[in-house]
Structure 1
Amino acid sequence: MHSTEIEVRTGDTAVVHDLTKQAEAFLAEHGAEDGLLHVWVPHATSGLAILETGAGSDDDLLAAIDDLLPRDNRWRHQHGTRGHGRDHVLPALLPPYATVPVLGGVMALGTWQSVCLVDTNVDNPVRRVRFSFLAG
C-alpha cells in the first residue's frame, strides 16, 4: 500500500475542488497498476464527490447543498459563522471518502467524472486529503 497526504487551500467560499490531477500524479508517482485508489478527507465539515466539473454541475451541487442545508441559524451546532452547523451535517450526505478502481495505472472514471473535494466550511480555508493505493 502507498499513501500520501496533500494540502488543499479552499479559501473562504464554498467550493467543489477537483482533485483528479493530484490523484493521477499520486498514482503515477507510485507506479500504480491495478487496484483501488482510496481518497479520505479527515475533516468533520467536508466530503468527496465524483461528478462532472466545469459544465455547471459543480455550481449546481453547491446550490443543491444550499437548498438542502440552508446557511441559517436552525442548527444546534452554533459555533463559527452563521449557519456553520450545516457544514457538520454535510459529510452525512457527501461522505469523507471515495474509492475508485484503478486499471493499468489509470482511474476507471467515466468520461466526464472527476474526483472532487466539496468544502462548504468558510471558516477553515485549508484541508488535508489522503490518497492511498491498494494494489490488486
Structure 2
Amino acid sequence: MINIHRILTIPTDPGVALHDITPQIRSLVADSGMVCGFLTVTSRHTTTAITINEHEERLLEDIRRFFTRLVPPGEAYLHNDIELRDCPLDEPENAHSHLLAMLVGSSEVIPIVAGDLDLGDWQSVMLVELDGPRERTVGLRLFGE
C-alpha cells in the first residue's frame, strides 16, 4: 500500500488568482509508482480554495469578475473591523476572501487510474488565491497501490 503526504509551496499573484497545480500533482503521482488509488488536495489556508475547472485565460478573468460581483471586497464586513479584533493593526481587510473560500471549498479528491489523475481533457486542479500575493501551501495525500 502506498501512503504519501507532500506539501506544495506556491507563491501566488495579487488579488484573486488561479494557479494550475496539475503538473506538480501529476509529477508526484508518476514518481510514486501508484497505479490505482486516490489523491486528496487540500488548501492549508482560510483565504484560498481548491477547485477543478478549465485553466483558460478568458475563463479565469470571468471567474475573477464573478467573485468580485458575488462578494464585493469593498462591502462593510464585521471581520474587517480590525480595531475590534485581536490581531495586528496591519491585518488585511479580507472578509470577502474568507467568504469566497467557504463557497469554493478547501479540498478535492481525485481518483488515480492507470497511474494518472482521472480528470477530463480540459480539467485542471487549481489553487484559488483570494487574498494574494502570498506564499501558500497545499497538502497532497496519495493513497493506493
* TM-score scaled by length of structure 2: 0.86
Considering fraction of residues, name the structure with more helix. Answer: 2
Do structure 1's residue 105 and structure 2's residue 107 form an aligned pair? no
How many residue pairs are counted as aligned between the two chains? Answer: 134
Bigger radius of gyration: 2
State, as a whole percentage, how many aligned pairs show the same letter.
25
State the partner residue of 1:33.
35
Post-superposition CA distance 1:59-94 (Å, at most 9, x none):
211111111110113211114344x11111122211
**One-letter identity of the residue aligned with 1:61:** I
Among candidates 123, 127, 130, match of residue 136 of structure 2: 127
Among candidates 11, 17, 22, match of residue 24 of structure 2: 22
**TM superposition outliers: structure 1 runs of 4+ over 4 Å:** none
Q: Aligned partners of 1:55 and 1:8: how far apart in 2?
A: 19
* TM-score scaled by length of structure 1: 0.91
Q: Aligned partners of 2:106 and 2:58: how far apart in 1?
A: 22
SS in 1 for 2:140: strand
Contiguous gaps of at least 5 residues in structure 2? 83-90
- The 8 Å contact of residues 47 and 95 in structure 1, kept in 2 or not, is answered as yes
Instruction: Please report how far the alpha carbon of residue 97 of structure 1 lies from its aligned counterpart in structure 2 after TM superposition.
Output: 0.5
Q: Aligned partners of 1:58 and 1:34: how far apart in 2?
A: 31
Q: Aligned partners of 1:127 and 1:24: how far apart in 2?
A: 19
